Every structure is written in structure tokens, then in C-alpha cells.
Chain A
Amino acid sequence: MTASAMTRNAVTGRSTSVTPRFSALQRLLHWLMAACILAMLFIGVGMNSTVTPKYLPLVETHKTLGFVILLLALIRLAVRLVVGAPPLPADLPPLIKLGAHLSHYGLYALMIGMPLLGWGMLSAGGYPVVLLGHIQLPAILAPSDALHTVLWNAHFYLAFAFFGLIALHAGAALFHGFIRRDGVLESMASVSAPREATRPGK
């Protein structure tokens, strides 16, 4: 973690007296993807509850944006493995720390898993997977009723789990930022230049 904090500081060019933050690239990816993923969740439930002509462009956007998210998530995971993350506050209770780590694993798993489930579901259903009306992707599974059903259910239920996890995650971020005021929110807070943050107990 120290090593990664130093790397991060190398990236942001800041001294260690300032709250450790995610690198600018990580913050950019975080907020860009947060916007995309929230849009995806709304598009998903919106398209599945309408029979009006907007159904078709919504589905097309859903597939295309879903693949953009998959690509961004893979890049983000790679950056995370190379650059690392600032340590959580030392005084954070161990159980909360565990919760934070597990929820981050969960979010990464969903960012990568949801698009793969969507792609797999369409493949297993014998559907062509076409982006932007003409980019044809290969099927990643052979047609199968049983697989289609499993993946369809997984994509459906995990979408709601994703929404719930994001709500919890955002709530926790606000708790860190305004109740604990421990610098965790600031570590991700803005895409722009670093800002001084007070870390209690330091």
C-alpha cells in the first residue's frame, strides 16, 4: 500500500502531507464509469418496461454502452493493479474495512460481469450481437435454452444488486466525507486538481 501510495503521488506529483488520493486517471475513470453505469441501469429497466418505438434505440444503446463499460472496466482494473489505491484510514474499524474491500470487489465483478452476462445471454439465445447497427460481434456461447435462462436471470437479478450496491457505496462515501471526515471521499472526489483535506487523527 505504501508503494502504491508513492506511485500515486508520483502520478499526481504531490507531497505525502496531503491526503492520499487515487491517481487522476483513476478518478476520471471512476466518475466517467459511474455516469455510464447509472445510465445503463436506467436504460435497462426503461427499455424492458416499454413497447414504444424508443425501445429499439434504448436496446441498441444498452448493448453498445455495455461494451464500452466492459472495455473501460478492464482498463480500470489494469490501472488499479499497477497504480494501486490509497490506504483506507488506519482508524477504520476492521469490519468496515472488510466491507469496503468486499464492496469494491463486488463493484469490479459487476462492472465486468454484467456486460459478459448480457453478451452470453444473447449468444445463448441465438441472437446476433450487433453494436451501432452494424458492428457484428461473435457469439461467445452456443445456443442453449438452459444457459439462456440462467444468464437472463443472472443479468436481471444482478442488475438490481448492482443498483443496491452502488446506493450503499455512495452512502458510505458520503458518510466518510461528511460524518467521519476521514479523507476517503476526497481520495476519489474530484477529477480536477488536488485539494487539501483534513484527516482526523493525523
Chain B
Amino acid sequence: MPGTPIRRGDVAKFAIGAAVIAAATGAFAYTAGWLSPGRLTPTRLVAALAPPGGPALGHRRNHAKGICFTGVFESNGKGAELSRAGLLAAGTYPALGRFNLGTADPNAPDATVRVRGLGLQLTAPDGTLWRAAMIDPPFFPVSTPQAFYDLLTASHSKDPEAMKGFIAANPEFGTFVGWAKGAPWTASYAEDAFNSLNAFIFVDASGARHAVRWSYVPQATVTPITDAELTALGPDHLEQEIAQRVASGPQRWNLVITLAEAGDPTNDPSKVWPAGRRTIDAGTLVVQKIEDERDGPCRDINFDPTILPDGIAVSDDPFPAARSAAYARSFNLRTSEVKDYPYNATATTGAKP
């Protein structure tokens, strides 16, 4: 610089400053996970869902086969004792949802998929939302999100020992296999119960917190069938059936909230709570109209179970956070792949409301 020779002390200060910038860049890369290839990120968790042939572009990365519905939630006000959420005060609120099958393949035949799901969004008058995604088994196959990832990896592995190793490390999975093999099937979404499985915290008007799980229990008569009988009904029976059934009359589910007692595990959806817990019937979900996913209102919704109104919060259950991260990743991918989504393909189901 004109007239000012550079001082050694200043060069040292500059060097220290430059080193700080370099260290911050390293810390940034570390935080982003670039230096830890073993970290379980949403990207890896969602990638693990893909079948060996790759994901179905434009579709949900799990629960890919589904059909939309609209209707209402008729709250009877009894849930207000547990939660100050406006949606649990007596009233009728718009509902939007999606019946679905727990598979990454949007064309899977119904009888090949053991887990069925319900994505649901309830809208309060002030616009706040309660989104949920629930399934029909009475408990989840594994205890932690990491174990779910291990299950996906093992089940897609070519190594015949992989599944054995997984089961040895996650004994709770055996209980689920027992349910999957032994539980009866139904021929209709309208006959299935959908369970939150994850525990949530309801906060009442006084601020007191109550750990709960909930289920949407069908009012329809449940007729158990075998998987062979379901196979005989055809690969897309469930969507055709629910479309016809709702066209001839609305279908109903009761929202049954189960209260935990001290010591009940809230952090592990693979463990059912003991029988005899207090339950509250908080209202009725009324499904009034079925619409194809292709043009329906549920397709571009992320039924992220952490989108909760004031008065409902996550618990120490580690799943909702992991699911929120994974569902966002899946949503980002599928919405960026709309060109691959078969808007104009002939409906394979023929299901029309």
C-alpha cells in the first residue's frame, strides 16, 4: 500500500482470520453431513424405501398407492377435556384425506400389501391444520427410526443372512410378523381401523399435558377375509370398492383417544399399552366423496404427522420427527417429478366417484 509497509503482526492477524473462515467452512460441511457418510439423513432414509428397481417417480416414496377423499370431522366436544385444540371443541370441520397401501409401488396388487394407511387433514375455522398419517396394524414393526432404516436395508439386501441378523437385533419385529401372518384381512378400507401408533401430547386449557394415542375405528361391520379371497377380488379392488361404497352413502370412523397411564411407553410405537386404558370418543370422521389421486385434492399434500394445531404436540416418541424429515424429502422429490406422474394415463382402477 502506498507509504505503508505491511507489518508482520498484521499478516499474522490476517492469517488467523483466514484460518477462522476456513474452519467455519469445515464446520459448515460437517453440519451438512458431508463429512459423515454414515449419518442417517432424510435423503438416505427415503432412498432406502426404494425397491431394487428404483422409486416410482412422481409418487410418494412410501404408501404410493392411494385414493383421495373429502368429508367432515364431526367433533362432539369430549376431546376438549384433553386438548384445547379448536378441532376438538364441538363442531363440524372440513376433512381431506387419502386411503393408501403401505408400499413403494403405486401399482402393487391389493392383496400383496399387508399395511394399509390413512392420511388425514382436518381444518379448524381459523385455518390451523391437524395432519396425521395412520396405519391399520395395532403396533409398529420396529422401535426406532434407525431400526426402520435397518429393516428396509435388510429386506432389500441380497445377503440371505441380512434379515436374520436384523431380526436377531430387533426382536420386536417378530411380533409384527406374527400379526402380519395371522391377522385377518378385510375387503374394504371402510372396515379398517387406522392407528396413530405414535404417542402425542394433548395440552388442555389449563396447560396440563396428557400423553395419548388415537385410532379411527370404523363404524362399518367388519367382515374378516383371507388374503386368497382378497386376491380373487382383483388387484385394485380396494379403490373400486371404496368409491362405490361412498357413492352409495357416507362412511364413518370414530376418533377414539387412548390416555396413557404413568409408566406406559410413549417413546416406542412397537409396544402396545396395556388393555383397560381410559378412552374418549371425540367425534366422527365422515367420508363423503372419493376422488382419484391423479386429479384429487390429496395428491399434493404432505400428511406430515407433526403438522399439529396448538393443543397437540409431539411426545418423546422419536418417530414423528424422523417421519417429518422423511416425508418432506419424499414430497420435495415427488413434486419435482410431476412430469413423470401419469396425469393422463388411463385409470388402472376405473374407480370413479
Contacts and interface: CB of A to CB of B under 8 A. Distances in A.
**A, B co-complexed:** yes
Contacts of B278: none
Interface stretch (A7-15, A17-25, A49-57, A75-83): A49-57
Interface in B288-306: 300-302, 304, 306
Contacts of B32: 45-46, 48-49
Nearest to A182: B1
A42 B1 contact: no
A100 interface: no
Given A51-B145, A145-B335, A179-B6, A171 B18 contact: yes
Interface stretch (B19-27, B157-165, B208-216): B19-27
Interface in A34-53: 38, 41-42, 45-53
A125 B331 contact: yes
Contacts of A134: 310
B27 A42 contact: yes
A181 interface: yes
A170 B21 contact: yes
B3 A50 contact: no
Interface stretch (B60-68, B124-132, B254-262): B124-132
A127 interface: yes
B41 interface: yes
B226 interface: no
A94 interface: no
Contact of B336 (A49, A133, A152): A152
Given A143-B300, A152-B332, A181-B10, A51 B33 contact: no
Contacts of A180: 1
Nearest to B309: A134
A128 interface: yes
A56 B24 CA distance: 24
Interface residues of A, number: 47
A133 B338 contact: no
A148 B17 CA distance: 39
Contact of A136 (B11, B126, B325, B335): B126
Given A56-B306, A136-B126, A181-B4, A51 B40 contact: yes
Given A128-B129, A146-B338, A179-B10, A51 B42 contact: yes
B260 to A, nearest CB: 18
Contacts of B31: 42, 45-46, 49
B13 interface: yes
A48 B33 CA distance: 9
A12 B137 CA distance: 69
Nearest to A89: B1
B1 A174 contact: no
A126 B302 contact: yes
Contacts of B14: 174-175, 177-179
B39 interface: yes
- Which has the most chain B C-beta neighbours within 10 Å: A51, A149, A163, A198? A51
A171 B14 CA distance: 9
A56 B314 contact: yes
Contacts of B301: 126
Contacts of A198: 4
Nearest to A134: B310
A171 B21 CA distance: 7
Contacts of B129: 128
B322 interface: yes
Contacts of A178: 10-11, 13-14, 17
Contacts of B17: 170-171, 174, 177-178
A120 B316 CA distance: 31
A201 B2 CA distance: 7
A91 interface: yes
Contacts of A126: 300-302
B49 to A, nearest CB: 13
Nearest to A199: B4
Nearest to A48: B42
Contacts of B24: 38, 167
B325 A50 contact: yes
Interface of B: 1-4, 6, 10-11, 13-14, 17-18, 21, 24-25, 27-28, 31-33, 39-43, 45, 126-129, 145, 300-302, 304, 306-307, 310, 313-314, 316, 318, 320-322, 324-326, 331-332, 335-336, 338
Given A128-B127, A134-B310, A143-B300, 17 more contacts: A49-B42, A51-B45, A51-B321, A91-B2, A125-B331, A126-B302, A128-B129, A128-B307, A152-B332, A163-B25, A167-B24, A171-B18, A174-B13, A200-B1, A200-B3, A200-B4, A201-B2
8 contacts: A45-B28, A56-B314, A127-B304, A163-B28, A167-B24, A170-B17, A179-B10, A200-B2
Closest 4 CB pairs of A and B: A49-B33, A45-B32, A174-B17, A178-B14
